[in-house]
Amino acid sequence: MMPQLDVPAGLVGTLAIIAFGLAIVAIVVAPIVARSRGSTGLGAALALVPFAVLTVAAVLAAAAAALGTVANQAAGVREVTTAGLALICITPVLGALFVRLRYGPTGDRTFQQQMAGNAVSSMLLVAILFEVLVVTGFLIGVAVGFFVGTPLLVGLAFAGISVLGTAGATLFALNRGDAFILELSKARRADPSNAREAMLRNVVQELALGANLPMPEVYVIDAGAANAFAVGRDTTHASIAVTRGLLELLDREELQGVVAHELGHIANLDSRHGLIVALLVGAVVVLTDLFFEAVVEMAQHPSIGGDDIGEVVAGLVMWLVISLLAILFAGTLKLFAPLAARAVQAAVSRDREYLADATSVSITRNPAGLESALRKLDADPTRLLDANRGTQHLWIVNPLKEASEGGHGWFDTHPATADRIARLRALAGQDARRDAEPSAAAAT
């Protein structure tokens, strides 16, 4: 039997609290230093600060979990919670390190490397969101379990139930989500008798053939704002919708760039990916909202009994203390868990946009078309009235103009247009250099 380790009183809790605080600091600092991602020297070094802070937080949380388990010879609520925090902190660090080592710096990647790197980043972000969901369900279960005397068991049960419930909702939504989004956007099938819409169908058909994809259904939205999106649970059940304003604004070359971008979303299964992410975020929000409402309801209906005034006063004081602590815990969970989940959702959306841009280049071999289209779409002042925050991540540019904060913030669903254009130009320059190398070798 392993001897019990003598851990100083309060050490495990102190390490866990410091780890949680550092994780919050990283969340606050990341949007600030993200502005320096295109800088060199000190500016580029500052972009690594959030990852360094998360690394320290992960080490401290893991140490707290390990020390608590060894000291008690059995994992408890505190150990499981700090282990979950360590996992959430270390996942983005390991993911960023892997992508950097495997595919190199962003500006030096070919479009194939850009596509692969963004795909890996998106999967890691979904893993983080899944971890947040599991830990949130566990903490809510722990709070409920305290009333029945088995917080660890109930916490683990709630974590499992939240995952199973979300998986069931995901399977249901995958079969009905596409039609709902098209109906919500008031999309209609493209009319072959209309010249512009006939051209759109031809462009979709020729690019789908070139990309070795089944031709998706083509829809038009009668709106003056220039925008487009794609939906589909797989490549054989997919649709592309563009606005009337986009057809009027872009020429054929620019339209090819946009359509190829949407075909990239279809090829990369972004609609399915986005739906899963949205449901995971929704599950976190629903869990925390229901828990907060249950705590408030419980606090409003105390059950205080006693044979004399002393017992009644003691019961009232106990009820006030427990209610305040429960509301504080539920309110903190309600605030931070959905914020973290939505930040990850936005990060996933930004990565998928970069991925679709790179896929567009691989289909058309012409970054200039998409680059010009993005400039026009970004400059278009017309608002898309039927857009909402639940579907804004689907569009090629953010339809909620006032929601854009430059593409570097935690909650921006789209990258900054300047960043997207810079990547397209980098891809074009690398392709040109590769084409020039055989010619130079032949001349030599």
**pLDDT truncated to tens, each residue of the chain (444 aa)?**
445 556 676 788 888 888 888 888 887 777 666 655 554 555 556 777 888 888 888 888 888 888 887 777 677 888 888 888 888 888 888 887 888 788 777 666 666 776 677 678 777 877 887 888 888 889 888 888 877 788 889 889 988 988 888 788 777 777 777 787 888 888 999 999 999 999 999 999 999 998 999 999 999 999 889 999 998 888 888 899 999 999 999 999 999 999 999 999 998 888 777 777 777 777 787 788 878 887 777 776 666 555 566 655 666 666 677 667 777 777 777 777 777 777 776 777 787 888 889 889 889 988 899 999 999 998 888 888 777 666 777 889 888 765 444 556 667 778 888 888 888 888 766 544 444 444 444 444
DSSP state of 307: S
Strand ranges of the sheet holding 187-189, from the earlier edge strand across to the other edge: 187-189, 217-221, 237-243, 228-234
Same-domain pairing of 65 and 181: no
Note the residue count of the chain: 444
Q: Is residue 188 part of a domain?
A: yes
Same-domain pairing of 95 and 177: no
The sign of the CA dihedral 22, 281, 266, 369 is negative
Q: Is residue 440 part of a domain?
A: no
Domain end among 75, 103, 131: 103
Q: Is residue 444 part of a domain?
A: no
Helices (H), 365-416: 367-379
Same-domain pairing of 149 and 181: yes
Q: Is residue 269 part of a domain?
A: yes
Question: Which two structure tokens, joined as six digits, stand for 264?
Answer: 């990239």
Taking the C-alpha atoms of residue 380 and residue 64, their distance in angstroms, rounded to an integer, is 52
Q: Is residue 443 part of a domain?
A: no
Q: Is residue 388 part of a domain?
A: yes
Q: Which residues pair with 219 in a beta bridge?
A: 189, 241
Domain end among 39, 73, 103: 103
Q: Which of 225, 227, 200, 180 is nearest to 217 (CA)?
A: 200
Same-domain pairing of 76 and 138: no
Same-domain pairing of 247 and 139: yes
DSSP-based three-state secondary structure for 3: coil
Q: Is residue 407 part of a domain?
A: yes
For 277-292, give the DSSP string.
Answer: HHHHHHHHHHHHHHHH
Domain end among 59, 79, 103: 103
Helix axes 309-364, 367-379, angle to 10 degrees: 130
Is 183 annotated as catalytic? no
DSSP state of 387: -
Question: Taking every pair of C-alpha atoms in the chain, what is the biggest distance, in angstroms?
Answer: 103
Question: Which two structure tokens, joined as six digits, stand for 353?
Answer: 């946009």
Work out the number of other CB atoms within 10 angstroms of the CB of residue 388: 12
Taking the C-alpha atoms of residue 143 and residue 332, their distance in angstroms, rounded to an integer, is 13
What are the φ/ψ torsions at residue 147 (nearest 5 degrees)?
-80, -15
Q: Is residue 108 part of a domain?
A: no
DSSP-based three-state secondary structure for 405: coil
Confirm if 288 and 178 have CB atoms less than 8 A apart: no
Same-domain pairing of 218 and 75: no
Helices (H), 146-228: 151-184, 195-210
DSSP state of 395: B
Which structural domain, as residue segments, surrounds residue 52?
7-103
Provide the number of structural domains found in the chain: 2
pTM above 0.75?
no
Of residues 254, 262, 353, 371, which has the active-site annotation?
Answer: 262
Question: Which two structure tokens, joined as six digits, stand for 301?
Answer: 């209906």
Same-domain pairing of 182 and 310: yes
Same-domain pairing of 152 and 253: yes
Same-domain pairing of 315 and 403: yes
